[in-house]
């Protein structure tokens, strides 16, 4: 594994280009360790029937491509142009105005000119022009065209897997060109040749087999939750009683498996459990599933087909259990899929009902079509109706800022609800600068399947703009806690904070909710869910 440079070295970034240099059409980038992820292992691609499983490494000369790889790629490209009007138009109309150029976190963090969103798309566009358009064929490089060669393929691959599909660029594009969609379809093309990365292919294979990315089997899933139940009892003195796969429950709860697996997501999962327990007496009838035990969807980073396949279990499980509707946990790309694709892929969910809060009676009209709501909006509604007894001062030792996940922000417009909840459960909340939050939010730097270990340098570079905004509020307001509603954020931001802004922790929203939640019959709480002393309890004996 490549060694990750020190922050001072990483920060030495040159964004301007020399006056004279070779044009990009003739100059290919070298695939560097620390920036790329490992190639998909054959057992993982084989497990889901993806083509051309093989042992391969991006840095090796030979990618073990099939004999006719060019035809496969070009045929796949043609098919996608016929399937997706957007792709076709995006290939034709970009005027290269450069508005997107300095909006990408990977460009900001690396200065690599081919990480400008326009260039990422141009790598595919140049092949489109060189192989499909008359001008490109006739004029060659003067027409901006490139032939599909091993070199162009490798370079395209390298940059397709340096995009987290966050869509910040598309916000600034005068035509709304969605580079994320170009990346999504470009990655589909690489998958036709067996060229996925293992950090995506592994979770996909797992999810296909066990229902979650981590390959947790049903009994182990229950074990993990049981462990949280013990932890919660230790902190609150209350034994919560979640149940699993219960037919006839009113609501099915789905959340990313990352939350049951690793800190600090686990505390968020504990938060869910405590909230559900609290609401039980008020009439909440909810069940977890050990089969649909994953909210996220790494298939979405593979192909539309794979995403659809992995997504199908959500409605399937809802139908099997006979629930009325689904609540989803805090996750990023999970919500992009749910909000923008699920209905088209696996709907209509006419066997479900429009979500209605059993406690407040609020009908979630905005989820009329998908029948699935975000736990944060459910909680926001509860707080608005004064259904939760909260003591925000229990979070007083946390000075919090909020990171909008790119997917919930730019794929939903889910901006105010999390802030409303946050403001209700903590007293010290400060926003980061406006160019870095809400619809203009920066990616964590490791989304869309790039949260591996071997590409740590890339992740730290991509995480720089977010970390820099956190640093700003850390220095100005003493922010020490970064709240988010995305499991990948919770998995990757701690590393990026340690690297760029030491002293800032990461939390899910429902961890803070659970800290503040006053449960009936609880003991005098002395610590928060992490076992850290609550404000004013620092001197307690049994801390």
Partner 1 sequence: MNFVLSLVFSSLAVLVVVLIPWIGVGALDLTTLFGVVIPYAALATFIVGIIVRVLNWGRSPVPYRIPTTAGQMWSFPWIKSNPIDNPKGAGGVVVRMLFEVLTFRSLFRNTRLEYRRVEGVPRINYEWEKWLWLAAILFHYSFLVIFLRHFRFFMDPVPGFVTLLQNLDGFMQMGAAPFNGFGLPGVYITDMLLMAAATWLLLRRILYSQLRYLSLPADYFPLMLILSLGFSGMLMRYLFRVDIVKVKELVIGLFKFHPVVPDGIGVLFFIHLFILCVLIAYFPFSKLMHLGWHLFKPHKEPLQQQPLCPACESLELPR
Chain positions 397 to 456 lying near partner 1, rule: CB under 8 A, are 409-417, 420, 433, 435-436, 439
Sheet containing 251-254, strands listed edge to edge, beginning at the edge strand earlier in sequence: 286-288, 251-254, 325-328, 372-374
Other residues' Cβ atoms within 10 Å of the Cβ of residue 519 = 18
Alpha carbons 509 and 490: distance in angstroms, whole number: 10
Residue numbers 277-306 binding partner 1 by CB under 8 A: 304-305
Is residue 542 near partner 1 by the rule CB under 8 A?
no
Alpha carbons 108 and 128: distance in angstroms, whole number: 27
CB of 52 to partner 1, least distance (A): 17
Tokens of 362: 């609020």
Residue numbers 324-363 binding partner 1 by CB under 8 A: 339-345, 347-348, 362
Per-residue CA distances from 336 to 189, 311, 318, 374 (Å): 21, 12, 19, 12
Residue numbers 48-87 binding partner 1 by CB under 8 A: 81-87
Among 55, 60, 71, 102, binds partner 1 (CB under 8 A): 102
CB of 407 to partner 1, least distance (A): 10
How distant is the alpha carbon of residue 9 from its chain centre? Answer: 27
Among 93, 281, 350, 542, binds partner 1 (CB under 8 A): 93
CB of 507 to partner 1, least distance (A): 23
CB of 177 to partner 1, least distance (A): 8
Residue numbers 487-526 binding partner 1 by CB under 8 A: none
CB of 397 to partner 1, least distance (A): 26
> In this structure, are residues 184 and 447 in contact, taking their beta carbons and an 8 Å threshold?
no
Is residue 470 near partner 1 by the rule CB under 8 A?
no
Tokens of 159: 């940059």
Q: Is 539 helix (H, G, I), strand (E, B) or coil?
A: coil
Which DSSP category does 39 fall into? B
CB of 125 to partner 1, least distance (A): 10
Beta strands in 244-335 (DSSP E): 251-254, 286-288, 325-328
Residue numbers 110-129 binding partner 1 by CB under 8 A: 113, 116, 118-119, 122
Alpha carbons 226 and 376: distance in angstroms, whole number: 23
How many CA atoms lie less than 13 Å away from 196 in the CB half-sphere? 34
Residue numbers 192-251 binding partner 1 by CB under 8 A: none
CB of 433 to partner 1, least distance (A): 8
Total of residues contacting partner 1 (CB under 8 A) = 100
Q: Which is nearer to partner 1, 60 or 79 (CB)?
A: 79
Among 1, 57, 89, 518, binds partner 1 (CB under 8 A): 89
Q: Which is nearer to partner 1, 257 or 448 (CB)?
A: 448
Partners of residue 253 on adjacent β-strands: 288, 327
């Amino acid at each position: 594994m490549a060694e990750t440079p020190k922050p001072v070295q990483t920060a030495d970034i040159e964004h301007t280009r020399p006056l004279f240099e070779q044009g990009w059409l003739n100059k290919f980038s070298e695939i560097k360790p620390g920036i790329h992820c490992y190639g998909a292992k054959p057992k993982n691609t084989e497990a889901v029937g993806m083509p051309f499983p093989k042992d391969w490494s991006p840095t090796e000369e030979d990618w073990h491509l099939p004999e006719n790889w060019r035809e496969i790629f070009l045929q796949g490209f043609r098919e996608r142009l016929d399937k997706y009007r957007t792709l076709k138009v995006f290939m034709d109309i970009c005027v290269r105005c450069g508005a997107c150029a300095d909006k990408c976190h990977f460009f900001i963090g690396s200065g690599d000119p081919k990480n400008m969103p326009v260039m990422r798309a141009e790598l595919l566009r140049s092949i489109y022009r060189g192989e499909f358009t008359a001008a490109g064929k006739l004029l060659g490089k003067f027409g901006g065209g490139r032939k599909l060669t091993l070199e162009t393929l490798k370079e395209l691959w390298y940059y397709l897997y340096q995009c987290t599909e966050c869509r910040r660029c598309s916000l600034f594009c005068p035509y709304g060109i969605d580079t994320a969609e170009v990346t999504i379809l470009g990655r589909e093309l690489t998958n036709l040749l067996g060229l996925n990365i293992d950090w995506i292919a592994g979770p996909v294979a797992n999810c296909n087999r066990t229902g979650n990315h981590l390959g947790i089997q049903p009994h182990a899933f229950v074990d993990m939750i049981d462990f949280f139940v013990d932890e919660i009892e230790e902190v609150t003195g209350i034994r919560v009683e979640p149940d699993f796969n219960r037919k006839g429950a009113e609501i099915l709860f789905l959340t990313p498996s990352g939350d049951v697996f690793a800190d600090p997501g686990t505390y968020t999962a504990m938060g869910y459990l405590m909230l559900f327990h609290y609401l039980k007496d008020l009439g909440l009838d909810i069940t977890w599933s050990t089969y649909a035990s994953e909210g996220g969807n790494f298939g979405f980073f593979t192909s539309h087909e794979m995403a659809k396949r992995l997504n199908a279990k959500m409605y399937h499980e809802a139908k099997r259990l006979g629930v009325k509707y689904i609540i989803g946990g805090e996750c990023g790309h999970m919500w992009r899929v749910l909000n923008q694709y699920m209905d088209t892929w696996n709907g209509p969910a006419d066997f479900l009902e429009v979500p209605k809060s059993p406690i407040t009676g609020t009908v979630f009209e905005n989820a009329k079509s998908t029948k699935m709501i975000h736990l944060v909006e459910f909680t926001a509604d509860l707080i608005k109706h004064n259904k939760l007894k909260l003591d925000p001062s229990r979070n007083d030792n946390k000075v919090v800022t909020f990171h909008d996940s790119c997917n919930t922000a730019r794929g939903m417009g889910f901006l105010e609800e999390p802030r409303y909840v946050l403001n209700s459960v903590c007293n010290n909340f400060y926003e980061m600068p406006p160019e870095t939050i809400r619809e203009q939010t920066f990616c964590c730097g490791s989304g869309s399947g790039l949260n591996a270990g071997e590409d740590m340098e890339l992740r730290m570079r991509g995480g720089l703009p977010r970390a820099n905004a956190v640093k700003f509020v850390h220095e100005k307001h003493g922010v020490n806690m970064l709240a988010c509603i995305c499991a990948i954020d919770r998995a990757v931001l701690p590393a990026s904070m340690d690297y760029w802004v030491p002293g800032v922790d990461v939390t899910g929203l429902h961890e803070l909710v659970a800290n503040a939640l006053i449960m009936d019959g609880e003991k005098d709480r002395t610590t928060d869910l992490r076992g850290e002393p609550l404000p004013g309890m620092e001197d307690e004996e049994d801390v």
